[in-house]
Amino acid sequence: MTVLQRNNVRILGRGPKAMLLAHGYGCDQNVWRFITPAFLEDYRLVLFDHVGAGQSDLTAYVPGKYSTLKGYADDVLDLCRELGLQDAIFVGHSVGAMIGLLAAIAEPERFERMVMVGPSPCYITEGDYTGGFTRQDIDGLLESLESNYLGWSSAIAPVIMGNPERPELAAELNNSFCRTDPEISKRFARVTFLSDNRTDLPKLKARTLVLQCAQDVIAPEAVGRYVHQSLARSELRMLKATGHCPHLSAPEETIEAMRSFLVS
């Protein structure tokens, strides 16, 4: 099994510079399908699935390795080494943004710029930090997921997606949850929602765009502003898009924000 097979890597586009796109929890590389056409001419797009998601090799899932986000970041760096990537653009959604953060800190020469879509370094409110959830909220979420994965998926998908007037978006996310191995998904949820990368943010050297949606229950505005203020070289872009997945619900606005940042 090669690294490229492990993560179901697909490479699209004809541009000289590489752009890696990392999906968030419960999704796979298919979520970028409305974004990728806009960048085919200028970039070499590297799409992949985190181990345990999409068409990745499930036999590569080792619970010990993936018990922290570092295991996923190590996979990103494996891809970069295999493809010989330097000074790439990393686009990460939600927990995918934190995975990229860890990869870029470990090997900064790999990434010239970062785009973080709805990032959250910590989901739990603590002291002066507003994460959006209490520890009891997260414990309840994880207990619900453990006891009834399919029921949890159908209930949480509309919350994550927002845009209640477009139920097809929540249906797509729910279907994505249902395609994921439940045991792996449960473990990844625990790793995601209990992670705390706040102290890692100041270590990032790459220029970064933080895309913050309106009415995002998963990563509210206070979190986006915290990420922006904690990064040495970042720009915060407030989107009109609502929910947690603007690359699906508002791809044109997302593309415009990315293009503006990448040419600046």
**CATH code of residue 226:** 3.40.50.1820
Q: Catalytic residue among 28, 49, 75, 216, which?
A: 216
Residue 95 domain-assigned?
yes
Residue 147 domain-assigned?
no
Q: Which pLDDT belongs to residue 58?
A: 95
Q: Catalytic residue among 50, 93, 228, 244, which?
A: 244
Nearest residue to 188 (alpha-carbon basis) of 243, 244, 223, 146: 146
Residue 23 domain-assigned?
yes
Catalytic residue status for 216: yes
Q: Which pLDDT belongs to residue 178?
A: 63
Q: At what angle do helices 95-106 and 69-83 cross, to 10 degrees?
A: 60
Query: Is 15 within 8 Å of 43 (Cβ atoms)?
Result: yes
Residue 127 domain-assigned?
no
- Domain of 243 in residue numbering reads as 3-121+197-262
List the strands of the sheet with 234-242, edge to edge.
10-12, 43-47, 17-22, 88-93, 111-117, 207-214, 234-242
Counting the structural domains of the chain, the total is: 1
Q: Which pLDDT belongs to residue 228?
A: 98
Instruction: Indicate the helix (H) or strand (E) that contains 193.
Output: helix 182-193
Catalytic residue status for 74: no
Residue 49 domain-assigned?
yes
Residue 30 domain-assigned?
yes
Q: Which pLDDT belongs to residue 160?
A: 84
User: Residue 207 and residue 226: Cα distance in Å, rounded?
Assistant: 16
Residue 132 domain-assigned?
no
pTM strictly above 0.85:
yes
Q: Which pLDDT belongs to residue 156?
A: 82
User: Residue 215 and residue 174: Cα distance in Å, rounded?
Assistant: 20
Catalytic residue status for 94: yes
Residues (pLDDT < 70) of the chain are: 178
- C-alpha distances out from residue 87 to 102, 110, 112, Å: 16, 5, 4
Residues contacting 70, CB < 8 A, separation 6+: 102
Residue 47 domain-assigned?
yes
Q: How many CA atoms lie within 13 A of 184 on its CB side?
A: 22
